[in-house]
């Protein structure tokens, strides 16, 4: 039942931005009447910091870096003419390259044209491109078909390559890695390269790199004479790189109008630069996150787009929010264990899965509905006067009401349609919300020490594996004996796990004992 009071609250708190074809409804969040006034000093401080960041302040102090993703869609904002030129040159390079590939001017040695794109990257070098590709694909109309390798899973890579079987000669690979040193991406590239070699194809004539100038991958691409090298900039973080060459190149090759993506993001930036909180949807999002989670991540964010094309928005936002906000220390060095957990998939599908718990179970979340007004391809009446799109719409509105009726909070972002401009708008909307929230809770939203620690830990584990392999002999030895032989007796459990992996993959021999300590390993 819609009470008059709720209808008033809806109208009072509806942030409507006609220039973006976007509205944000926060009326189903239970903040108090004086909430915005109470938070004004804090959000004002966040606006000031954001303005400094956009002017080129070293906002990522831990890495001594500027944070410039907003310049990508408005290069004139960049703090130096050199940066402006770099951005403009990179977009021009992408557009010229894509046009030449589409026209067959840049072509593979053994086929008429490149028809397939295989993008190899991980994390911030994959999630944005995957989200945009899935959201904007037009089956039968895309200029090139795009696939992704985003993991060092050999079986996963083989599965992707199998889909390209018979078409490798028409496949253009993009290796995307800002740092140029991420092992997962290097591995993906090497496995894919081997497939090209096995097919008798010269990989270097099928591959381009998106990476920082001078990185390891850049050097390799230069040495091997890859088709092209596109820049990634030091001042753009991985998870905010979708509107750099990282996202623009795959999108342009697919045939997406990248100028619309950029102009959508620029228009959203214009709106969300406002210091009038009621008119600024990014600020409202950040303030709602703060309200819902107590500024301490006490509740999870469930992202529920009612549109199949936006399925990967949840995964994209999961990284953007959790990698940015999930921090152990605040900017003063105090232990805070910050973050907001994000998960989601799509409606109405999820109403047949975990939405049961959202409606009736533990109240540890708030929902962000993404509602798309234009249903698209909705001419079939499934009942007299009722379409499938009517159902989708009805399910979204009904779920919002049911959640609120059971004291569950939600917000709704409504966009008109899913096109390149909308994707740019959504990316910019959430990027700025994350930045503002980072200031509200006083953390550096632009570093990722946990990701770096994970990379280091994996390197240490592989070093241990190499040591164990060297210590193996024809005589069976336990994990403890092998670990001790290489001065790693304090890592016996890790040694055991590594040896089990090697044995399961037929790389070493194993005699299974009654317990892990009694199991022994030897050379095959
Ligand atoms: O957002 C980030 O910084 C990370 O997720 C990186 O994008 C990811 O680790 C991949 O790094 P790179 O692009 O350097 O290969």
DSSP string, 252-271: HHHT--HHHHHHHHHHHHHH
Residues 6+ apart with CB under 8 A from 204: 224, 225, 226, 227
Domain hosting 87: range is 69-256
% of the chain surpassing 70 pLDDT: 100
Best mutation site among 60, 129, 152, 182 for ligand 1 pocket (most ligand atoms within 8 Å of CB): 182
Residue 448 alpha carbon, nearest atom of ligand 1: 3
317 and 435 in a single domain? The answer is yes
- 123 Cβ closer than 6 Å to some ligand 1 atom: yes
Residue 154: inside a domain: yes
Residue 263: inside a domain: no
Q: How far is the CA of 147 from the centre of ligand 1 (A)?
A: 19
Domain boundary among 447, 467, 489: 447
Residue 176 alpha carbon, nearest atom of ligand 1: 13
46 and 111 in a single domain? The answer is no
Edge-to-edge strand order for the sheet containing 145-149?
Answer: 145-149, 116-120, 171-177, 207-211, 228-231
Q: How far is the CA of 483 from the centre of ligand 1 (A)?
A: 32
Cβ atoms of residues 269 and 70 within 8 Å? yes
Residues 6+ apart with CB under 8 A from 369: 304, 305, 306, 347, 396, 399, 400, 410, 411, 412, 413
Instruction: Pick the residue whose CA is nearest to atom 15 on ligand 1.
Output: 177
- pTM for this predicted structure: 0.96
382 and 505 in a single domain? The answer is no
Cβ atoms of residues 329 and 336 within 8 Å? yes
Domain boundary among 208, 230, 256: 256
409 and 468 in a single domain? The answer is no
Residue 120: inside a domain: yes
The per-residue pLDDT for range 35-60, each reduced to its tens digit, is 999 999 999 999 999 999 999 999 99
398 and 487 in a single domain? The answer is no
Residue 345: inside a domain: yes
Considering its fold, how many domains does the chain have in total? 3
Tokens of 71: 């310049």
Residue 262: inside a domain: no
Best mutation site among 62, 125, 234 for ligand 1 pocket (most ligand atoms within 8 Å of CB): 125
User: Tokens 């909705």 belong to which residue?
Assistant: 378
Edge-to-edge strand order for the sheet containing 520-522?
Answer: 477-478, 520-522, 509-511
Residue 266: inside a domain: no
Average pLDDT of the segment spanning 425-431: 98
Residue 40: inside a domain: yes
Can you tell me the distance from the alpha carbon of 369 to that of 27, in angstroms, rounded to the nearest whole number? 13
Tokens of 38: 């109470």
Tokens of 406: 């059971």
202 and 219 in a single domain? The answer is yes
Instruction: Pick the residue whose CA is nearest to atom 3 on ligand 1.
Output: 238
Q: How far is the CA of 434 from the centre of ligand 1 (A)?
A: 17
Residue among 476, 481, 483 nearest 509 (CA): 476
Residues 6+ apart with CB under 8 A from 88: 75
Cβ atoms of residues 244 and 236 within 8 Å? yes
Can you tell me the distance from the alpha carbon of 395 to that of 366, in angstroms, rounded to the nearest whole number? 17
Domain boundary among 428, 447, 466: 447
Can you tell me the distance from the alpha carbon of 519 to that of 498, in angstroms, rounded to the nearest whole number? 13
Q: What is the pLDDT of residue 453?
A: 83
- 189 Cβ closer than 6 Å to some ligand 1 atom: no
% of the chain surpassing 90 pLDDT: 97
Residue 451 alpha carbon, nearest atom of ligand 1: 9
484 and 402 in a single domain? The answer is no
Q: What is the pLDDT of residue 465?
A: 97
Please give the helix or strand (H or E) that residue 25 lies within, else none.
strand 22-25
Judge whether residue 393 has pLDDT over 70: yes
- 413 Cβ closer than 6 Å to some ligand 1 atom: no
The per-residue pLDDT for range 247-267, each reduced to its tens digit, is 999 999 999 999 999 999 999
Residue 240: inside a domain: yes
Best mutation site among 62, 67, 122 for ligand 1 pocket (most ligand atoms within 8 Å of CB): 122
CB-based burial label for 14 (10 Å; 0-12, 13-18, 19+): middle
Active site residue ranges:
323, 352, 455
Average pLDDT of the segment spanning 97-116: 98
CATH (domain of 484): 1.10.10
420 and 285 in a single domain? The answer is yes
Tokens of 260: 């619309």
CATH (domain of 33): 3.40.50.10490
349 and 438 in a single domain? The answer is yes
Radius of gyration over alpha carbons of the chain, in Å?
25
Q: What is the pLDDT of residue 1?
A: 65
| pLDDT level of residue 215 (50, 70, 90 thresholds) | very high
Judge whether residue 2 has pLDDT over 80: no
Q: What is the pLDDT of residue 98?
A: 98
Average pLDDT of the segment spanning 263-279: 98
The per-residue pLDDT for range 158-196, each reduced to its tens digit, is 999 999 999 999 999 999 999 999 999 999 999 999 999
CA 34 → CA 16, 31, 97, 120, distances in Å? 21, 8, 54, 49
48 and 128 in a single domain? The answer is no
14 and 109 in a single domain? The answer is no
Judge whether residue 69 has pLDDT over 80: yes
Q: Count CA atoms closer than 13 A to 335's CA, side-chain side.
A: 0
| pLDDT level of residue 477 (50, 70, 90 thresholds) | very high
163 and 146 in a single domain? The answer is yes
Please give the helix or strand (H or E) that residue 245 lies within, else none.
helix 245-254
CB-based burial label for 92 (10 Å; 0-12, 13-18, 19+): exposed
Kindly report which listed range (1-15, 130-144, 163-177, 257-271) carries the lowest average pLDDT score.
1-15
């Amino acid at each position: 039942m819609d009470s008059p009071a709720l209808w008033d609250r809806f109208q009072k708190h509806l942030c409507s931005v006609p220039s973006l074809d976007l509205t944000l409804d926060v009326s189903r969040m239970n903040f108090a009447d004086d909430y915005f006034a109470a938070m004004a000093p804090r959000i004002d401080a966040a606006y000031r910091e954001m303005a400094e960041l956009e002017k080129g302040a070293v906002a990522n102090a831990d890495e001594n870096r500027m944070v410039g993703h907003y310049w990508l869609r408005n290069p004139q904002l960049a703090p130096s003419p050199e940066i402006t030129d770099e951005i403009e040159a990179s977009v021009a390079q992408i557009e010229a390259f894509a046009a030449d590939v589409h026209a067959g001017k840049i072509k593979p040695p053994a086929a008429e044209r490149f028809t397939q794109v295989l993008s190899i990257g991980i994390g911030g070098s994959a999630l944005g491109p995957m989200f945009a590709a899935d959201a904007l694909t037009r089956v039968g109309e895309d200029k090139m078909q795009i696939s992704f390798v985003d993991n060092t899973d050999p079986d996963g890579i083989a599965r992707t390559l199998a889909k390209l079987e018979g078409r490798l000669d028409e496949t253009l690979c993009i290796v995307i890695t800002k740092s140029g040193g991420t092992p997962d991406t290097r591995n993906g590239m090497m496995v894919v390269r081997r497939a090209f070699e096995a097919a008798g194809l010269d990989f270097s004539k099928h591959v381009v790199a998106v990476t920082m100038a001078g990185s390891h991958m850049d050097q390799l691409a230069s040495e091997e004479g890859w088709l092209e090298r596109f820049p990634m900039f030091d001042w753009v973080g991985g998870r905010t790189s979708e509107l750099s060459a990282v996202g623009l190149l795959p999108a342009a090759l697919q045939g997406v109008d990248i100028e619309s993506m950029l102009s959508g993001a620029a228009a959203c930036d214009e709106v969300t630069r406002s210091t009038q909180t009621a008119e600024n949807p990014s600020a409202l999002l950040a303030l709602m996150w703060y309200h819902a989670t107590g500024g301490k991540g006490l509740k999870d964010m469930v992202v529920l787009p009612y549109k199949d094309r936006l399925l990967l928005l949840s995964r994209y936002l999961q990284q953007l929010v959790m990698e940015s906000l999930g921090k152990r220390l605040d900017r003063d060095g105090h232990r805070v264990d910050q973050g907001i957990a994000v998960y989601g998939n799509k409606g109405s599908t999820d109403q047949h899965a975990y939405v049961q718990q959202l409606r009736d179970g533990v109240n540890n979340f708030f929902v962000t509905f993404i509602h798309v007004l234009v249903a698209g391809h909705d001419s079939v009446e499934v009942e007299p006067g009722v379409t499938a799109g009517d159902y989708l719409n009805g399910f979204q509105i009904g779920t919002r009401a049911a959640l609120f009726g059971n004291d569950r909070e939600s917000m709704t972002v409504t966009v008109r349609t899913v096109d390149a401009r909308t994707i740019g708008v959504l990316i910019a909307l959430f990027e700025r919300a994350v930045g503002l929230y980072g200031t509200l809770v006083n953390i550096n939203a632009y570093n990722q020490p946990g990701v770096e620690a994970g990379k280091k830990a994996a390197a240490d584990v592989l070093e241990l594996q190499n040591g164990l392999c060297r210590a193996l002999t024809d005589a069976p030895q336990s994990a403890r004996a092998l670990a001790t032989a290489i001065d790693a007796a304090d890592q016996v459990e890790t040694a055991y796990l590594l040896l089990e992996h090697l044995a399961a993959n037929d790389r070493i021999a194993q005699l299974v004992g009654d317990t892990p300590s009694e199991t022994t390993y030897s050379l095959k």
